[in-house]
Amino acid sequence: MAKEKDFQKINRQITSKEVRLVGDNIEPNVYSIYTALNMSRELGLDLIEINSNVNPPICKIEDYKKFLYDKKKKQKDLEKKNKQNQIEVKELRFTSNTDEHDFNFKLNHAINFLKKGDKVKSYVFFKGREIVYKDKGEIMLLRLAEELSEIGTVESLPKMEGNKMYMTIKPKK
């Protein structure tokens, strides 16, 4: 079924009376099918229907094997581009009163994220009057950075932004 979708009409398989012709050394214009076939025969190339969804269909004069090669090459490049590892940023939220067990639980998540190759953006959220304990939050973030020092490096040191203190850690290569 996939091959039917990729099938390209060439030369005499094209049933339209007129075609819009594009290609190298050819004046882009609408030609009758007979004129287009003669032009392709004179050049020793094939007439390939590129887009049949428009009226008149778009055709190109080119060697069919070269056309298929270029098409496969573009497909592979597209697949390669889609498979590239895209780095995600995972967030961990702490408060100034985060307990030891909760810290270790989030630390394990951060380790897993870094091992997968994702960045970890950890922040301490200060509610109401907790903003007075900024030093507690900074100590917690620096402790997290120290615990993750074997598998990650600090990209940005803790900094305040509104009522949150942020720090970003990226995985080591």
In a domain, 157, yes or no: yes
Q: Are residues 94 and 46 in the same domain?
A: no
Q: For 122-142, what is each residue's pLDDT tens digit?
A: 999 888 888 887 888 888 888
Q: For 45-89, what is each residue's pLDDT tens digit?
A: 888 888 888 888 888 888 888 888 988 998 888 888 777 667 788
Q: Are residues 64 and 94 in the same domain?
A: no
CATH code of the domain in which 110 resides:
3.30.110.10
pLDDT at 4: 43
Helix H, strand E, coil C: the string for the chain is CHHHHHCCCEHHHCCCCEEEEECCCCCCEEEEHHHHHHHHHHHCCEEEEEECCCCCCEEEEECHHHHHHHHHHHHHHHHHHHHCCCCCEEEEEEECCCCHHHHHHHHHHHHHHHHHCCEEEEEEECCHHHHHHHHHHHHHHHHHHHHCCCCEEEEEEEEEECCEEEEEEEECC
Domains held by the chain: number? 2
Q: Are residues 107 and 149 in the same domain?
A: yes
Q: Are residues 8 and 61 in the same domain?
A: yes
Residue closest to 59 by CA, chosen among 15, 4, 16, 19: 19
Q: For 146-171, what is each residue's pLDDT tens digit?
A: 888 889 888 888 888 888 889 999 88
Query: Could you list the residue range(s) of the whole structural domain that residue 23 is in?
Result: 2-68
Q: Are residues 63 and 94 in the same domain?
A: no
Q: Are residues 58 and 127 in the same domain?
A: no
Q: Are residues 64 and 104 in the same domain?
A: no
Provide the whole-model pTM: 0.51
| Cα 88 to Cα 11: distance, rounded to the nearest angstrom | 48
CATH code of the domain in which 30 resides:
3.10.20.80
In a domain, 75, yes or no: no
Q: Are residues 97 and 164 in the same domain?
A: yes
